[in-house]
Amino acid sequence: MNKYSLTMKTVLITGSSSGIGKAAALYFQQKGWQVAATMRSPEKEKDIRQLPHVKLYELDVTNAESVGQALKNVQKDFGKIDVVVNNAGFGADGVFESMTDEFIQKQFDTNVFGLMRVTREAVKIMRGQKSGTIIQITSVGGHVAFPLYSIYHGTKWAVEGFTESLQYEVRPFNIKLKLIEPGAIKTDFYGRSRAFIKPDYTTDYDAFVKQCESVSMDAGEKGASPELVAKIIFKAANDSSSKMRYPIAYPANVLLPLKRILPERVFFWAMRSSYKI
């Protein structure tokens, strides 16, 4: 086990086994932070296990007991938690009509309720410390909706509203909340961690799905790197200002300003045109 220092800052990152979470764990470690890298199966992780000032923890955001125990263990080991990065989540897309209650529940249990569980435990610790920063990894999809992502957007819009409200009540304890809003990022969001649902009882949606999928997958293939997001997360972790939202990469840097200035009917027309639907 590494020896941990109270003079070094400590970050806890959920979903550290791949993608943005892993890139963030590596970047914070390189910048001289102590890193509590959490994931569902830490025994499978090889790359960051041996790095100085990094410790792996088992944490399943869908299990309240797992969340509570992990954060207690991190606080015990490091003495404090300066920053929590809520990164764990997965992308679900497809035809809403064919999505079961169980599938919808799974999406919300990970992306929303899981994030809330971690946030709740983090607030308890940071309130006692009278300081801390909680960084939520949301998405351009927390403001702008794309075809076939209705359930995913529901989770990200929920996180945006939840976080914006919560920042008022934790401000007296010197706890800051930040929202990282990436556009298309080249990660397993478009691959291994993607969950796509399509009806097997009708072909009515087939043409629509084929067209929208081609646009979506192309965006993912051309997406920015998770390392770029890691750098912005680190910037937010060190930002003492009241700035809350950090949009990153295309199309976040284009669509968010456009949605603010265009009439809805024009914006929706532009979105349909970009998908050719």
What is the spatial distance between Cα 88 and Cα 38, in angstroms, rounded to a whole number? 9
Task: Note if 250 is an active site residue.
Answer: no
The number of C-alpha atoms within 13 Å of 131 and in the hemisphere containing its C-beta is: 8
Task: Note if 152 is an active site residue.
Answer: yes
- The pairing of strands 132-137 and 83-86 is parallel
Instruction: Single out the catalytic residue among 156, 176, 178, 186.
Output: 156
Helix, strand or coil, per DSSP, at residue 242: coil
Q: Tokens 């084929």 — which residue?
A: 210
Looking at the DSSP bridge assignments, the partners of residue 132 are: 175
The angle, 0 to 180 degrees and rounded to 10, between the axes of the packed helices 264-275 and 206-221 is 90
Residue 14: φ, ψ to 5° = -90, 155
Looking at the DSSP bridge assignments, the partners of residue 84 are: 12, 134
Instruction: Single out the catalytic residue among 27, 57, 149, 152.
Output: 152
Query: Is residue 172 within 8 Å of 235, Cβ to Cβ?
Result: no
Query: Is residue 78 within 8 Å of 125, Cβ to Cβ?
Result: no
Catalytic residue positions? 152, 156
